[in-house]
Every structure is written in structure tokens, then in C-alpha cells.
Structure 1
């Protein structure tokens, strides 16, 4: 299993223009906050999904090993 791309990507962050005004600063501050929250949520979801996949595989292996092999020829 591979960790989803969302967990390893850099977050996009708004930048101030070359000569920012107070309004630019406020707008970028709010936009960055939203971008960080969205990026954090995407990363958290990717990690939680990977953990859930691994848990399901572990449970499958335990059931398989507990009930005997389900593979042909074993």
C-alpha cells in the first residue's frame, strides 16, 4: 500500500502581492487559514484511509490464518 499523494504534497499557500495593503494582508491571512485547514484535512484523510486499509488487511490475515489457509494447494 502506498500513502496517498495528498499526504505528501506541499500545501498551496496564498502570497502577498509585491506592495501589499492592509486589505491584502487581511485577505491573504484568511485565505491561508482556509488553505492550511483544507490541506491538513486532506492529509489526515489520506493517513486515516491508509490506516484503515492496513487494519482491514491485518484482520483478513488473522481470519485466514485462524481458519486455515484459503489458498489452493495448501
Structure 2
């Protein structure tokens, strides 16, 4: 009944900032199950990065956006 996990909790080379960023990315409602092409991936990530920097409120910086800080 044990299933394999691809998460790596408490490893010595863990980067909590990038892990948090990946989690935010992965749980976006429009995150595609699969990208159709490299161009599709770049287009999606361009839109995501713009949203993340200009609209997404970050709790670690007082619910401001990175662009406003």
C-alpha cells in the first residue's frame, strides 16, 4: 500500500523559494497537463510570470506584488 513519491522533503540541497514558486505554478487553474510545444510552454510561462510579478499578492512581502515592492 506504499506509493512512490517524487517530492524530496528535508533534503540538504532543498531550495524553499524555488519549491514555493514551483508549487504556485503547478496549482494554477490553467496550468496545462501537457505543453503542446516549446512555443506553447514559453507563451504560458510568459503570461504566468507577468501575473506572478504584477497581480499575485505574496504573503512574505505584506501581500504586495513583487513589482510594487
Same fold (TM over 0.5): no
Structure 1 or 2, whichever has the larger Rg, is 1
Compare the two structures and name the one with the higher helix fraction. 1
Larger relative contact order (C-alpha < 8 A, sep ≥ 6)?
1
TM-score range normalised by the length of the shorter chain: 0.3 to 0.5
- TM-score, scaled to structure 2: 0.34
